Amino acid sequence: MQKTVRFSLALSALLLCTTARAGEEQSKWSEEVGAKSYPTNNQVLRANDFGANDNGLILSTRAIQAAIDSCASAGGGRVEFEPGVYLTGALYLKSNVELHIGEGVELKGMIGREEFPDIDTRVAGIEMRWPSAIINVIDQENVAVSGNGTLHAQGRYHWEQYWKLREEYTPKGLRWAADYDCKRVRTLLISGSRNVSVSDLTLKQAGFWTVHILYSSQVTVSGLTIQNNIDGHGPSTDGIDIDSSNRILVENCDIDCNDDNFCLKAGRDADGLRVNRPTEYVIIRNCIARRGGGLLSIGSETSGGIRNIEIHHLEAWGTLCGIRLKSALTRGGLIENIYVHHIKMNDVANPIDVSLNWNPSYSYASLPEGTHSLPQHWNVLLQPVEPAQKGIPVFRNVTLQNMKASGARTAINASGIDDSYLENFVLENIEIRAQKAGKISYTRNWLLKNVRILSRNKDNFIMNNNDNFVRE
């Protein structure tokens, strides 16, 4: 017994020291996140002068794009609108241009897909052809989207198309393919770009993901209000997705959606391992999540790795999960150096959830017998990970501190697997009021310090295959 106590104290000291070192390292890169430049040219152009119509009935895509192109050709500046409602298809911003959607201005996305040409992009972890977003920043630098106005995606059309396809696909064993075959329009895409700022807008009713930051760096997203649960609950209406990108700052946002509120991604399976681009050096702070799948979701697309992340001072009100780390056994990727602190959760069903085998019906592609003439993206999804061991993800060096949750069903569910234990987790100063404590399994070097679970079965976790598990 004495030997165990000494070892426990040593492990506790080691893990806390590791956390302290991680904090020191974080302070070195925290000032490097976010956009470092902003369009500064004093030129101001009005889209109305190029023929944009403010009655919300006549399509104004060409006029708005002409204003953007003219602004860029003249060296940059700001494109504005007179108050009103503007119906638009896909817009493509250019370097050194700020698109200002001011107070009293509403841009409405055209219903359907006709005004959103397919582009080469990545969606849900694989590279494929997919419709342009409403606002696109692709391979540009020094760009801003700003204003106190509204961008209404009118995405309900896409929700209905998706549910129709799911009704057809699920009985056939094609649940995994539905999300890729039903092409839906994102609201705002930042791809392959640098020094981009998005601020102060209200974004409504996304047809698919709302803000997608892909293959980009030095991006700031600040002061967004995302309201996707308007006239229903749309599938896959993520709030902000940070995908194989680095040096990203997200702050002061309020998200109400029907999937992951804030999500970090890095590719899926063989295609994600081929691309092999991590998400790293990310700060998310001072935000609110309302309805949605997860206050913070890391994964399930983890193939390129996710590391050096700090999340702090977030609140969740009624999301399904709080802090969720998820992957699958064909994803691979190293998830490490995750620091989450000062989190409040109210009526969140599962405050802490960690799984290496998440949602198998979606995560694993398999072809029903007799299926022929496969779309190219099906071949990508069906490509096996070889050797299979490359598909095993690794979660390590995760610190959760100063968290409080109430109204939960299950306080903590955390499960590694025999081939990949959840390693070096520190949970400190945490209080969760829940119906039951939950389950912790296949872990190595875990420290729970001042963790209080107030539930019917007290803090009696279902425990198995935990190596060097310490509670203080």
| pLDDT value at residue 56 | 95
Q: Taking the complete model, does pTM exceed 0.75, yes or no?
A: yes
d(CA 371, CA 354): 35
213 domain residue, yes or no: yes
Query: Amino acid letter at 123?
Result: V
List CB contacts of 403: < 8 A, sequence separation 6 or more.
Answer: 322, 323, 340, 341, 342, 343, 344, 345, 351, 429, 430, 431, 432
What's the total number of domains in the chain?
A: 1
Q: Is the pLDDT of residue 177 over 50?
A: yes
| pLDDT value at residue 399 | 98
Strands annotated E in 76-182 = 77-80, 84-88, 91-92, 97-100, 105-109, 118-123, 126-131, 135-138, 141-146, 150-152
**For residue 271, what is the enclosing H or E element?**
helix 269-275
List CB contacts of 219: < 8 A, sequence separation 6 or more.
Answer: 34, 35, 190, 193, 195, 196, 197, 198, 213, 245, 247, 248, 249
Question: Beta partners for 135?
Answer: 91, 188
343 domain residue, yes or no: yes
Residue by residue, DSSP assigns 403-448 as EEEEEEEEEEEEE-BTTB-EEEEEEEEEEEEEEEEEEEEEEEEEEE
Q: Is the pLDDT of residue 3 over 50?
A: no
Note the pLDDT tens digit of each residue in 372-386: 778 999 999 999 999
d(CA 285, CA 315): 10
Q: Is the pLDDT of residue 297 over 80?
A: yes
78 domain residue, yes or no: no
Note the pLDDT tens digit of each residue in 405-449: 999 999 999 999 999 999 999 999 999 999 999 999 999 999 999
Query: Amino acid letter at 266?
Result: A
Q: What are the Cα distances from residue 469, in Å, to 335, 463, 466? A: 20, 10, 6
- In this structure, are residues 391 and 365 in contact, taking their beta carbons and an 8 Å threshold? no
Note the pLDDT tens digit of each residue in 328-347: 999 999 999 999 999 999 99
pLDDT confidence band for 8 (50 / 70 / 90): low
372 domain residue, yes or no: no
| pLDDT value at residue 28 | 85
Q: Can you say how many angstroms the Cα of residue 467 is from the centroid of all Cα atoms in its chain?
A: 31
Region 133-137: mean pLDDT is 98
Backbone angles phi, psi at 419, to 5 degrees: -90, -5
Query: Amino acid letter at 319?
Result: T
70 domain residue, yes or no: no
127 domain residue, yes or no: yes
Region 335-364: mean pLDDT is 96
308 domain residue, yes or no: yes
- In this structure, are residues 420 and 398 in contact, taking their beta carbons and an 8 Å threshold? no
Q: Is the pLDDT of residue 16 over 70?
A: no
DSSP 8-state secondary structure symbol assigned to residue 20: H
Nearest to 339 by CA among 263, 404, 426: 426
Residue 399 belongs to domain spanning? 2-29+121-137+149-363+389-471
Q: What is the mean pLDDT of the chain?
A: 94
Q: Which CATH number covers residue 317?
A: 2.160.20.10
163 domain residue, yes or no: yes
| pLDDT value at residue 373 | 74
| pLDDT value at residue 1 | 33
Note the pLDDT tens digit of each residue in 196-230: 999 999 999 999 999 999 999 999 999 999 999 98
| pLDDT value at residue 404 | 98
**For residue 311, what is the enclosing H or E element?**
strand 306-317
